[in-house]
Structure 1
């Protein structure tokens, strides 16, 4: 089985995440996408992050209607901060018959060389890249030419950010259209992101 790993803090998971994950299964050779909820991204601040169990629950709610999208809390029990190279090695050992790949936005390729042992990831795994609008980018990342980079050209460009959603909720805006119905209900009921 070919499994794409879509890492994120998913704070909160929104329709853009689900659209991209679904598209990767529909328009590539991936059989499943596992949405790996990261407890703490070493390149991001932890402030304002919902508790792990809330974020994995939200991903469960958002993916409930899709057999080929699976929430994963695999990183919750691994040493923190989480490094993708360690997670990949752990998953490969635990699921030796699976063929794992990474999924990332084109904008993440710019920071990819900052990742721990990124060369190992680049040479060991395929990386499925979806387009992002970046007006500051003059030319594509040189990594786009690497044989293990698979550009999924026809992926919809989703310019929705979890930061925008959190800020909107805090400002009293209705962000419901950007979230799965059950995700919105859970966030609203628990008054998340209001402060």
Structure 2
């Protein structure tokens, strides 16, 4: 593997990971990224633009196109757009995290996700392993606050939840640890963008 084309991070850095198909990336993704940097005191955020989503029957637009669009949407010195999953040959989140832990010893990774994804986390491959091996930041999105708080994952790991005011502690917490924060809403949706025909596959 050519490490030169992988993101760089030093031991001790706090790096937030925002994974997804980004099909397409939009202002909502950029919005929660900026909020995560601020609320959790992260040094970096990596957008993990996935080659494909195992949970979706219809696969996304070509990776190169999605990467280019993401770089247009998210311009920030602390944010890196990366296709690292394609480069290291992983597809599922748990598999990706396991590999990143090996590649970047000493880096304090934090998993970032919207509340809508947290509501269905229990359907992900090895979802308990994810909760028990990396701190998880849940950022509220429109219409998903209640479903996220009532989710299977929230119920199972309620005792490990940090309150919103404790968000800066999450990057130093030993997993399982998770925090739900409400952020100013951005209603943009990749699904709606595709439905309008503004992003053809």
Q: TM-score range by the shorter chain?
A: 0.7 to 0.9
Instruction: Provide structure 1 residue ranges, at least 5 long, that are not aligned to the other structure.
Output: 176-191
72, 75, 80: which one pairs with 1:61? 72
52, 57, 81: which one pairs with 1:45? 57
Instruction: Provide structure 2 residue ranges, at least 5 long, that are not aligned to the other structure.
Output: 1-12, 161-176
The answer to whether residue 72 in structure 2 is matched with residue 73 in structure 1 is no
User: C-alpha displacement at 1:146, in angstroms?
Assistant: 4.6
User: What corresponds to 1:119 in structure 2?
Assistant: 128
Compared CA separation, residues 89 and 32, structure 1 to 2 (3 A): same
Instruction: State the number of aligned residues.
Output: 169
User: What corresponds to 1:32 in structure 2?
Assistant: 44
User: What corresponds to 2:28 in structure 1?
Assistant: 16
User: C-alpha displacement at 1:137, in angstroms?
Assistant: 3.8
TM norm structure 2: 0.76
Give matches, 1:1-195, under 5 Å.
Answer: 1-47=13-59, 49-64=60-75, 66-79=76-89, 82-132=91-141, 133-134=143-144, 137=147, 140-144=150-154, 145-147=158-160, 148-153=177-182, 155-168=183-196, 170=197, 192-193=199-200
Aligned CA-pair RMSD: 2.2
Per-residue CA distance 1:125-165 (angstroms, 9 max, x = gap)? 11000112139849632533251111123x12222211111
Could you tell me how far apart the structure 1 residues matched to 2:43 and 2:180 are?
17
User: C-alpha displacement at 1:120, in angstroms?
Assistant: 1.1
Q: Return structure 1 stretches of 4+ with deviation > 6 angstroms.
A: none
Compared CA separation, residues 25 and 18, structure 1 to 2 (3 A): same
What secondary structure is seen at the aligned counterpart in 2 of 1:107?
helix
